[in-house]
Copies of this chain bind each other. A is one copy, B any other.
Amino acid sequence: MSQPKTRRSGGRAARQAMRAAPLSEAKRPVRAGMSGGAYKPLTNEQILAIHESALEALETIGLADAPQSGVDIMVKVGAILGDDGRLRYPRAIILEALEKAAKGITLYSRDGKNDLTLSGKRVHYGTAGAAVHMVDVEGNDYRESTIQDLHDAARIVDKMDNIHFLQRPMVARDILDNYEMDMNTIYASCAGTTKHIGTSIFDPEYVQGCLDLLHTIAGGEEAWRARPFVSNSNCFVVPPMKFATESCSVMEACIAGGMPVLLLSAGMAGATAPSTVAGAIVQAVAECLAGVFYVNAVKPGHPAIFGTWPFGLDLRTGAMTGGSGEQALLTAGCAQMHHFYGLPGGAVGGISDAKMPDMQAGWEQMCSNMTAGLSGLNMVYEAAGMHASLLGFCHESLIMGNDIIGQALRCVRGIEVDEVTMAVDQIRSVCMGGPGHYLGTDETLARMESDYVYPLTGDRTSPKEWAEIGKPNLVQTAISKKEEILAERSAAAFDPLLDLNIRENFNIHLDV
């Protein structure tokens, strides 16, 4: 189809002027927490079958390697410790734990402006991961990631409307001491954004120090416990079907400290999980159900996210891959299981295997971000900035990811159908005695802001205009946006007195 001749006409100046004004919150076409669910790769029968298989796995296979504290806690409420050291779970006690488990939890932001309500099929996108590299876009290279990179990522996330939380996406390779790394990860994240933060504490002994820092930031333990703005990502299992002993101890300490936990089961289909999509989901669900049992044995109703994160694999090489259709299905299928249990859930979307922010990165990031959103996944982790199958993080890609997620969210929002939107009266008045087009109608102007998502970095010029404005390069546009954001002082920076207080009590590596 060629384009109609009307390409440039009808009140363009008026529309551009209107559009130049910043959007009021009420008019924003997309926002955090829109409800998905129009995409259902699994039928209800299939969901039930997966549920039954997971229960069978828990009852007959169970999980090995729980720490002694966890064994004691779980056996006390019905888990059975076998001679083989595996904890097994009769179905009745799992169903009981599901009753007790927290539903509809809130992940707090530090300033109260970006709280996330995890219930139903509400969708939120954010970062996550443990990349060890930064993508050096201008140098076409990879380098080790630093605490400054993490802080910069936080500052960018703070400015991106469609990135709703910052879970630590990369490891600060320039801090060699693990305790200091954990501490500085929290500092660098919180000093960069007031949105909800996810971190991952390395050792159970570090938890109290991290909590001390969080209490200081919050203005006391009570304030922290009232609105915990940092959650802890617990890789509580080493798939297949083993507890991660240390990580479980961290989790117990976090629960005691009032931190919401992410129960993260990260099997790789074909390596540490079955190679089939259904099998990888069964195992992830079984593992996370064990996690739910564990958390609710420690503290009934403690906020926990059902983190089925099965990853795809390239079976030719045995290497992980996150940019595939298989990944997109794994994630969406998991989201349906979360809905079945009525639990707040998270999985991965938006991972790219591409090394640079190229066309492959674009299609890969959209692929699983789309299925995640349409399926109504509560928390889409690793949704932006993630390259090289999770090994590299890219600030420019994070900015472009905001555009990707914006369009995915537009799809999540869906199609409003009523007398006004179906517009038969408008069609009538335009066609019969009217102008014969809709460009200037009140209805069109009224919808310009509320219905349409415009890209920040994406370019929509015609080839002629594009040449006239000097053929803007997409990656260069993203670099400029990044520099613009990082040139400003962080809006989330701590009050100077508080900052001084923190620096007196904790070894902060970051200069801000």
Contact = CB atoms under 8 A, between A and B. Distances in A.
Contact of A355 (B3, B266, B432, B466): B466
B1 A128 contact: yes
A84 interface: yes
A118 interface: no
Interface stretch (A188-196, A294-302, A320-328): A320-328
Copies of this chain present in the complex amount to 2
A172 interface: no
A414 B329 contact: yes
Interface in A157-206: 171
A182 to B, nearest CB: 15
B423 A276 contact: yes
Contacts of A273: 438
A59 to B, nearest CB: 10
Contacts of A309: 1
Contacts of A451: 275-277, 326
Given A277-B416, A458-B354, A6 B463 contact: no
A437 B371 contact: no
Interface string A105-127: 00000000000000000000000
Interface string A336-375: 0000000000001000011111111111111100110010
A3 B315 contact: no
Contacts of A86: 432
Interface stretch (A67-75, A248-256, A467-475, A497-505): A467-475
Nearest to A131: B2
A354 B474 contact: yes
Contacts of A409: 325
B417 A4 contact: no
Contacts of A367: 366, 370, 407-408, 411
A267 B235 CA distance: 50
Interface stretch (A39-47, A210-218, A221-229): A39-47
Interface residues of A, number: 155
Nearest to A439: B271
A78 interface: no
A472 to B, nearest CB: 9
Nearest to A444: B275
Interface string A129-162: 1101100000011100000000000000000000
Contacts of A426: 274, 279
Contacts of A132: 2
Contact of A279 (B171, B282, B328, B423): B423
A431 interface: yes
B422 A282 contact: yes
Contact of A447 (B8, B315, B348, B414): B315
Contacts of A235: 1
B271 A57 contact: no
Contact of A362 (B264, B364, B416): B364
Contact of A328 (B141, B391, B411, B457): B411
16 contacts: A3-B390, A10-B318, A53-B424, A60-B428, A240-B437, A240-B438, A276-B421, A277-B451, A278-B422, A316-B448, A319-B460, A362-B365, A362-B366, A363-B365, A366-B366, A366-B370
